[in-house]
Structure 1
Amino acid sequence: MTAAAHTTLLVIAKAPVPGRVKTRLTPPYTPAQAAALAEAALIDTLAAGLRLPAARRLLVLDGVPGDWTPAGYEVVPQAAGGLDARLAAAFGRCTGPALLVGMDTPQLDADLLAPVFGPGGWDGRDAWFGPAADGGFWALGLAEPDRPDLLLGVPMSTASTGAVQRARLTDAGLRVADLPLLRDVDTAADAAEVAALAPHTLFARTLRETAEHRTLATGGAGR
C-alpha cells in the first residue's frame, strides 16, 4: 500500500454562524446570507473530501457541528492561538501524510486533489502546496505532519503568506510539489468568480438564489 493510501484529509473550518463567518461579504450581503454562502462552501468542500480515498478525514472546527456535517468525518476542535498555531496543531493530530484544506474554495473537487491521494502521491515529495490568488494558500500537505516549526511564525492572512509558507518548506529542505492556483472566496467579487467557475456547486446555487432574493427585495421596495 502506498503512502498516498495512508493520507489524512484535514478540513479546517469555522461553523457558519451569522456575524462570525465571511464578514467581508457584508455588505453587499447580510450576515445571514454570508453565513448561508459559507455553509454552502463548507458542504461542497466536505463532499469533495468524501470522494477522496483518504485513510482518515478530520473536520477541525471552530464552533459547533450542525446538520451540514456529513458522516465520514471526525470532528475535532481547533486549538487556541493564531492561525499558524491552529494549523500546526491540526497537523499534529496526524501520524502519517496529511493534506489540509480550508472552506474558502468550494470549486475544489476530488480530481484536483487526485495527485496527492493517488498512487505515488508522495513519491519523491515531502510537501504539497496549493497557492491562492490573494497571496495565501488553500492547501498544504506534509509527509511528516508533526512539524510545528514549518508553520509557527508564518504571518497569516497577508499578501505574502503563501510565499513565506512555501519558502519555509523549501528552506527546511523539503521537496515541494505544487497544486493549481485557486481563488479563495473572501469578497463578493470572489464569490461571483468562483461560482462562475463551478456553476454546479451548492455554493453557486446558493449565490444565485441569494442574488435573486436581493433583486426581488429591491424591486419590491421601489414600487
Structure 2
Amino acid sequence: MSADAGAGSPRLAILAKAPLPGRVKTRLIPALGAAGAAALHVRLLRHTLAMALAATRPERITLWTALDPAHPLFLALAEDHGIRLAAQPEGDLGARMHHALVVLGGPGLLVGSDCPVLTPALLGQCQAALETAEAVCLPAEDGGYALVGVRESHLELFRGIDWGGPRVMAQTRQRARALGWRLACPAEVWDVDRPEDLGRLAALDAFTD
C-alpha cells in the first residue's frame, strides 16, 4: 500500500464475475477462445485489485461477486489481501451499482474489472473530486464509464440507462443534471471488451509477459 493510502483513503467497490469459461469476456472468445478470455478476465481483475490496494486499505475494499460468489479465485483474493467479499444482488447493473455504493456507507468509488489503465493516481483524483462534486465518473471511449463515485448514492443516477450501449455516459450526465448534481470527469479511459482492444493491451507494461 502506498504511503498516502491511510486515513481518508477511498472506500472502493469492485464488481467482478467469476472467471467461468464461456460466461465472461464473451466478445473476446472469437480471438482468445473461451478459456483464454476467462484467463484474461482473471488478469484484469488482479490488476484492478492491485491498483485498489495501492490506493486504499484492504478493509475499505469490497469485491462484489457474480456468477459464482464462492469461486476459489474470490476466496483466494479475500484470504491473500484481506478484502471483503459480497454477492451482487438481483437487479440490473444500475441497481447493483447503487446497492454497492450505498453499502460503502459514505462517499466512495465503484469500478469494474476490465480497465487496464486504471491507476492509484486516477483513483486518488476521483476521490478528491468528491470534495467539490456530488458524483465523479471516468468516461470510457466506448460511451460507457469505467468508474463512478458518489458522495451519497441516489438510485435516480442509475435509472433508465441503456447498460452496455454507447449512450451510458451521456445518459448518466443527463441523470446528474436532473438531480442538480455536479459531475466531475477527471479523465477518459478505455477498457477491454473487443478483439481490437487486445493490441494496445499487449503494449502495456503491466500486461507483458
Instruction: Tell me if TM exceeds 0.5.
Output: yes
TM alignment of 1:158-197, pairs within 5 A: 158-196=165-203
**Equivalent AA in structure 1 for residue 167 of structure 2:** S
1:104 aligns with 2:114: yes
Greater displacement, 51-60 / 78-87: 51-60
Q: Say what the alpha-carbon RMSD is for the aligned residues.
A: 1.8
| Residue 20 (str. 1) matches residue 27 (str. 2) | no
What 5-or-longer segments of structure 2 have no aligned partner? 1-6
Structure 1 segments, 4+ long, off by >4 Å, are none
> Which position in structure 2 is the counterpart of 1:211?
none
Confirm whether residue 142 of structure 1 aligns to residue 145 of structure 2: no
The one-letter amino acid paired with 1:129 is C
Residue identity matched to 2:97: L
Displacement of 1:28: 1.6
Structure showing greater radius of gyration is 1
- Residue 164 of structure 2 is matched in structure 1 by 157
How far 1:61 sits from its partner (Å)? 0.8
- Gapped regions of structure 1 (runs ≥ 5): 209-223
Residue 86 of structure 2 aligns to a residue whose secondary structure is: strand
Higher helix share: 2
Identity of aligned residues (%): 34
Structure 2 residue matching 1:92: 3-state secondary structure:
helix
Amino acid at match of 1:40: R
| Partner amino acid, structure 1, of 2:98 | A
Alpha-carbon offset, residue 121 of structure 1? 4.3
Aligned partner of 2:105 in structure 1 is: 95
Residue deviations 1:105-134 (CA, integer Å, cap 9, x gap) = 0221111212134xx543221111110111
2-structure distance, mates of 1:77, 1:142: 21
AA aligned opposite 2:131: D
Q: Deviations over 1:38-91 (max 9, x none)?
A: 000000000100011357111011023434524231110111121112112211
Q: Distance in 2 between matches of 1:7 and 1:96?
A: 10
- Correspondence for 1:57 among 54, 58, 61: 61
TM-score w.r.t. structure 1 length?
Answer: 0.81
Report if aligned partners of 1:129, 1:176 keep a CA contact under 8 Å in 2: yes
TM-score with structure 2 setting the length: 0.87
> How far did 1:6 drift?
6.0
Q: Distance in 2 between matches of 1:195 and 1:171?
A: 40
Does the aligned pair in 2 maintain the 1:45–1:108 contact within 8 Å?
Answer: yes
Cα-to-partner distance string for 1:162-185 (whole Å, 9 max, x where unaligned)? 110122112211111113111110
